[in-house]
Amino acid sequence: AMIALSYIFLAFAVKKIALGVAYALWEGIGILLITVFSVLLFDESLSPLKIAGLTTLVVGIVLIKSGTQKKASSKQEVAHAAV
C-alpha cells in the first residue's frame, strides 16, 4: 500500500517538476528514509562509508535540483506543445 501511495505522489510531482528531477528526489528520499528507519527500528550501524554514500546522494540530489530551470511562460509552453 505504501509503495502504491509513493507512486501516486510521484505522478503528482511529475506534473509540477521535470521527470528526471522528480525521480531522483523520489529515489533519494526513499533511500534516506529507509536508512533512517533501519537505524532506528533495526539498530543497523552506519559506517563511515555508508555515511559518505548518503552524503554523496544528498549532494547529487541538490545538484540535480539546482540545475533545473523554472518553467517558461505559459505562452511558450502552448507554442512548444503545438509543435
pTM over 0.75: no
Q: Which three cell numbers stand for residue 67?
A: 540545475
CA distance 8 to 21: 16
Residues 6+ apart with CB under 8 A from 22: 10, 13, 14
Phi and psi, residue 53, nearest 5°:
-65, -45
What does the pLDDT look like over 23-65, one tens digit per residue?
A: 888 999 899 999 999 999 999 999 999 999 999 999 998 888 8
Range of the domain at 19: 2-82
> How many structural domains comprise the chain?
1
